[in-house]
Structure 1
Amino acid sequence: MAKAIGTFPYYGGKQRLCKRIAEFIPQGVVSITDACGGSAKLILNCRYAPRMVYNDLNPAMAALMTCIKDRHLFGEFLKRVETEPYSETTFERARVVLAGQRTGGRYTQLELGVAKYQGLCMSFNSTMESYAKPDEKKLRSYRERLYGSLQDAHFHMDDYDIQVTCRDAIDIMAESGPEDMVLLDVPYLAGPNEERRKTGAYGAYDWGRDLHEKFLDRANQTAGKVLICGYESRLYAERLKPDRWLKVDLGEVAKVSARSKLGESKPRVHEIVWVNYEPPAKVIRKFTNSQFSKNV
């Protein structure tokens, strides 16, 4: 299997799973939309479709991906990131820009994209909450990424003409038809009885339980082909009924933030895929009966 195309560190970025998830996309769809795009690892590792879309409700994420896709902006983006050092001062300045955007400040796509990239890459576990002091390995990765994975992503988005939008994922799903494929790597459900305990990791664009319930109601009504991925969840098991959804356990994976600030390892969890259509035969053959089930 070819190496996955990456971009930048991101909370729940699917770097190790994106190729496996992409296998679930059937032949013949006319569009593929990564509706909760994040770091774009799903859309960047999909088969080609006549219309391909990266979407994220967060304007700063959409601006960052626009910078990576657009030929002119990408060059300017690389220059800006190269000339501003990896430092706590740069990190805090990026946070000011992002906070200003959320409160109505006006910034260019380049300013927002650079700030979002710096905030993600320079924070602990890419959560934007606190500065991550780099060691030599982290500094080297930060430099090499600009002319490695980001270059790969730029050329792939150009070759596949992947569009960038900033919309509500639930609206996209509601508008989809039988020939449309919608990928939904939604913010993990948080709660005392869920695998994700802590809320707020996605900032102002996190989903509370009420939004997850609204999303699941809409998912059960959509005419489009929908793929949902996330941690095992009681709520999702209850709402995604076996007469409409197939469930696949991709096995144990490291949590989105595998280590705490104290360096302690966190328990591994199971990553689940739910689909409302018959996946390709090779996917059915690949997984055992215990992994592939009618959502039981």
Structure 2
Amino acid sequence: MKGQLTTPITYYGGKQKMLKHILPLIPQHSLYCEPFLGGGAVFWAKKPSPVEVINDLDGRITNFYKVCQSDFGALRTLILATPHSRQMHREAERALKYPDLYSDLKRAWAFYVQTQQGFGGQLFGGWGYERKTNKSSLKIYNKRSRFIKQFQQRLNLVQIECNDALQVIKSRDTEQSFFYVDPPYFNSDCAHYSGYTIDDYKALLDVLAGLKGKFLLSSYPSDILMEYAKNNGWYMKRFESRVAVTHLTVKMKTEVLVANYPI
């Protein structure tokens, strides 16, 4: 099966816009591991590898992909029957806030609806809509229409973990392993990114510094990252991109790709 699928969800912090930079930098490998999956834009767009591991400590994410893998038909039926609706967005929020009251299937549906209909792909955020155009409804309709069987097929041979990212990295590290690493940005209070500290980030960089395999890290420039890159001889590329902050304002941000092999 060929790669180049588009991630089935729109997730805050996703790397869809960076794919043109990331995909050409992926080296040859036998095992592919994404320890901070999120929306998985890179995983879905790349060609399948002999061994693949996707992981996220957020059980809402891994539940969505597990249901995609095991009960795709039922999930697709629910998604296709869901309109662009504030009521559906609220119902999805309840299912995620009170998971014990809902089935895995219903929670997977809820995660999809929250990421698709929430502003900026954020969970528990405002319901996204527009007044001057029908762009939001059209985008949701198109995304819903593209929720196709190939997503299940792509996941058939994939290992899905819900574990500490560092443990997953250590357990899959070989000379033929490649890790695409897109951690939460430390000290961010933004929605589902809250709680990731600079100590967590340092622990990740320590693990990356000791790898047998190769890694490509997506991050923002910081003093701690510059220090590790210099001390370990890592390679770095910088990219400027536009970010929508609100409905009306846009700002520029700098992202970096860092690797332990030439890029």
1:113 is aligned to 2:108: yes
What CA distance in whole angstroms lies between the structure 1 residues aligned with 2:145 and 2:47?
24
Q: Is the 8 A contact 1:6 1:153 kept in 2?
A: no
Structure 1 match to 2:240: 252
The SS at the match of 2:25 is coil
Structure 1 residue 272: deviation in Å? 0.8
What pairs up with 1:43-192 in 2 under 5 angstroms? 43-70=43-70, 73-101=71-99, 105=100, 107-135=102-130, 136-148=134-146, 150-151=147-148, 154=151, 157-158=154-155, 161-175=157-171, 176-190=173-187
Displacement of 1:139 in angstroms is: 1.2
> Alignment partner for residue 206 of structure 2, among 217, 221, 235?
217
Count of residue pairs brought into register by the alignment: 257
Is 1:199 aligned to residue 189 of structure 2? yes
The alpha-carbon distance between structure 1 residues 116 and 217, as it changes in their structure 2 partners (threshold 3 A), is same
* Contact 1:173–1:224, Cα closer than 8 Å, also in 2: no
Please give the alpha-carbon distance, in whole angstroms, between the structure 2 residues aligned to 1:153 and 1:63: 18
**What runs of 5+ residues in structure 1 fail to find an aligned partner?**
191-197, 279-283, 285-296
Aligned equivalents of 1:47, 1:81: Cα separation in 2: 26
1:9 and 1:121 in contact (8 A); partners too: yes
CA RMSD of aligned residues (A): 2.4
Q: CA deviation at 1:107?
A: 4.1
Query: What TM-score does the superposition give when structure 1 sets the normalisation length?
Result: 0.78
Contact 1:181–1:224 under 8 Å retained in 2: yes
More helix by share: 2
Once the two structures are TM-superposed, the CA of residue 156 in structure 1 deviates from its matched residue by 5.8
Q: Which amino acid aligns with 2:21?
A: R
Which residue does the alignment assign to 2:21?
20
Stretches of structure 2 lacking an aligned partner (at least 5 in a row):
none
What is the DSSP-based 3-state SS (H/G/I as helix, E as strand, rest coil) of the residue aligned with 1:236? helix
Which amino acid in the other structure matches residue 49 of structure 1? Answer: S
SS in 1 for 2:17: coil
Amino acid at match of 1:269: K
Report how far residue 4 of structure 1 moved: 6.1
Could you tell me which amino acid in structure 1 is paired with residue 112 of structure 2?
A: Y
TM-score, with normalisation over the residues of structure 2?
0.87
